[in-house]
Structure 1
Amino acid sequence: MFIRRRKNKSGSTTIVIVDKSKGKFTELHNVGTSKEEDRILELIVLGKEWIRSKELAIQPELDLYGEEREAKSNELKAVEDVLSNIDNILINGTDLILNRVFDRIGFNEIKDEVFRKLVLSRLSYPASKAATVEYLKNHFDEDINLSRIYRYLDKLGDKQHTKVQKISVIHTREILGGSIGVMFYDVTTLYFETDLEDDLRKTGFSKEGKHSHPQIILGLLVSLDGYPLAYCIHEGNKYEGHTMLPVIEAFVKEYGLDEFIVVADSGLMNNANIEELERLGYKYIIGAKLKTEKLSIREYICSQPKIDRQMFEIDKGQGRRLLVGYTDDRAKKDAYNRDKGVRRLEKAYRRGSLSKENINKRGYNKFLDINSQIHVTINYDKIAQDAAWDGLKGYLTNTTIPTEQVYEAYHNLWNVERAFRIAKSKIEIRPMFHFTRRRIEAHICICFVALKVYKELERVLKITDIKLSVDKVMNMAKTITTIRVYLPQNKCY
Structure 2
Amino acid sequence: MFIRKRKNPSGSISIQIIDKSKGKYKVVETIACVKDKKELEFYLAKAESRLKQLNPNLFDAVEFNEKKHRFIGIKNKEISVVGPDIIFGYIMEYIGCDKVLKKLKEKELFKQLVLSRIIDPGSKLNLIDYLYIYKHQNLDKNEIYRFLDTLSLNLKDKIEQCIFEYTSMVTGGIRVSFYDVTTLYFEASSEDDLRKVGFSKDGKFTKPQIILGLLTSLEGYPLGFEIHEGNCYEGKTFIPMLEKFQKKFNIEKPIVVADSGLLSKANILELEKLNYRYILGARIKSSSSEIKNKIVSLNLNDEKNIETIYFSKNQKMIVSYSQQRAKKDRYTRTKNYEKLKIKIKSGNLTKAHLNNKGYNKYLVLSDSQTTISIDEDKYNYDSSFDGLKGFVANDFSLNPTQIIEHYTNLWHIERAFRISKTDLKIRPIYHRLEQSVRMFLNFVDF
TM-score (norm 2): 0.78
The count of residues paired between Structure 1 and Structure 2 equals: 374
Shift in CA distance, 133/302, structure 1 to aligned 2, threshold 3 Å: same
- With a CA cutoff of 8 Å and minimum separation of 6, indicate the structure with the bigger relative contact order: 1
- Name whichever of 406-415 and 361-370 sits farther off: 361-370
2:80–2:134 contact (8 Å) kept in structure 1: yes
How big is the alpha-carbon RMSD for the aligned residues of Structure 1 and Structure 2? Answer: 2.4
Answering whether residue 364 of structure 2 is matched by residue 369 of structure 1, we say yes
Quick check: 2:354–2:361 contact (8 Å CA) kept in 1? no
1:265 corresponds to: 259
Aligned to 1:378: 374
Distance of aligned partners of 1:368 and 1:195 in 2 relative to their CA distance in 1, 3 Å threshold: farther
The residue type paired with residue 375 of structure 2 is N
| Gaps in structure 1 of 5+ consecutive residues | 1-70, 452-493
Higher mean displacement: 264-273 or 307-316: 307-316
Q: 1:203 pairs with 197, 203, 207, which one?
A: 197
- 1:99 corresponds to: 89
| 8 Å contact kept, 1:240–1:268 | yes
Partner of 1:450: 445
Closer, same or farther: CA 318–77 of 1 in aligned 2, 3 Å? closer
User: Aligned equivalents of 1:76 and 1:223: distance in 2?
Assistant: 48
1:254 and 2:244 equivalent?
A: no
C-alpha distance in 2 between matches for 1:268 and 1:341: 26
Q: Which residue of 1 aligns with 2:389?
A: 393
Q: What is the CA–CA distance in structure 2 between the aligned matches of 1:440 and 1:359, rounded to whole Å?
A: 42
Stretches of structure 2 lacking an aligned partner (at least 5 in a row): 1-61, 102-106
Task: Look up the SS of the partner of 1:143 in the other structure.
Answer: coil
User: C-alpha distance in 1, partners of 2:317/2:89?
Assistant: 47
Q: Deviations over 1:275-299 (max 9, x none)?
A: 1111111110111122233332221
Alignment CA distance shift 1:159-1:388 (3 Å): same
Aligned residue for 2:159, secondary structure, equals helix
Query: Does 2:430 align with 1:433?
Result: yes
Map 1:350-361 to 2 at 5 A: 350-356=345-351, 361=356
Check if 1:160 corresponds to 2:155: yes
The code of the aligned residue for 2:224 comes to A
Q: State how 1:195-344 maps to structure 2 within 5 Å.
A: 195-308=189-302, 310-344=305-339
SS of structure 2 residue aligned to 1:167: helix
* CA distance in structure 2 between the partners assigned to 1:310 and 1:241 by the alignment: 30
Q: Distance in 1 between matches of 2:176 and 2:280?
A: 12
Contact 2:195–2:230 at 8 Å: present in 1 too? yes
Instruction: Identify if the C-alpha distance between structure 1 residues 436 and 359 changes in structure 2 by more than 3 Å, giving closer, same or farther.
Output: farther
Contact conserved, 1:356 with 1:374, CA < 8 A, in 2? Answer: no
- Partner of residue 421 from structure 2, selected from 410, 419, 424: 424
CA distance in 2, matches of 1:402, 1:281: 19
- CA 1:360 to 1:257, structure 2 compared with 1: closer, same or farther past 3 Å? farther
% identity of equivalent residues: 42
Q: Which one of the candidate residues 406, 411, 415 is aligned to 1:409?
A: 406
Determine the C-alpha separation between the residues in 2 that align with 1:87 and 1:150. Answer: 27
Q: Residue in 2 aligned with 1:149?
A: 144
Superposition deviation, residue 86 in structure 1: 8.4
Distance in 1, Cα, partners of 2:370 & 2:131: 62
Contact 2:198 2:208 survives alignment (8 Å): yes
Letter in 1 for 2:219: D
Q: What residue number does 1:114 align with?
A: 109
CA shift for structure 1 position 344: 2.9
Partners of 2:140 and 2:353 lie apart in 1 by 51
TM-score, normalised on structure 1? Answer: 0.71
Distance 1:172 1:270, change over 3 A: same
Aligned twin of 2:167: 172
Question: Does the Cα contact within 8 Å between 2:354 and 2:364 map onto a contact in 1?
Answer: no
Q: CA deviation at 1:78?
A: 7.6
Matches of 1:417 and 1:443 in 2, distance apart?
A: 20
Is 1:136 the counterpart of 2:126? The answer is no
The 8 Å contact of residues 314 and 323 in structure 1, kept in 2 or not, is answered as: yes
Q: 1:307 to 1:90 in 2, by over 3 A?
A: same
| Separation (CA, whole Å) in 1 of partners of 2:238 and 2:310 | 26
Partner Cα separation in structure 2 for residue 187 and residue 330 of structure 1: 24
Shift of 1:84: 6.3
Match of 1:60 in 2: none
The letter of the residue matching 2:218 is L
Say if 1:117 and 1:299 are closer, same or farther in 2 by CA, change over 3 A. same
For residue 340 of structure 2, give the secondary structure of its aligned residue in structure 1: helix
Higher Rg of the two aligned structures = 1
SS at match of 2:242: helix
Code of the aligned partner of 2:116 = S
Q: Is the 8 A contact 1:157 1:441 kept in 2?
A: no
Which stretch shifts more, 197-206 or 276-285?
197-206
CA separation of 1:406 and 1:161: change in aligned 2, threshold 3 A: same
CA deviation string 1:424-456 (max 9, x = no partner): 1101111111122111111111xx1101xxxxx
Write the distance in 2 (CA, Å) between the matches of 1:340 and 1:163. 51
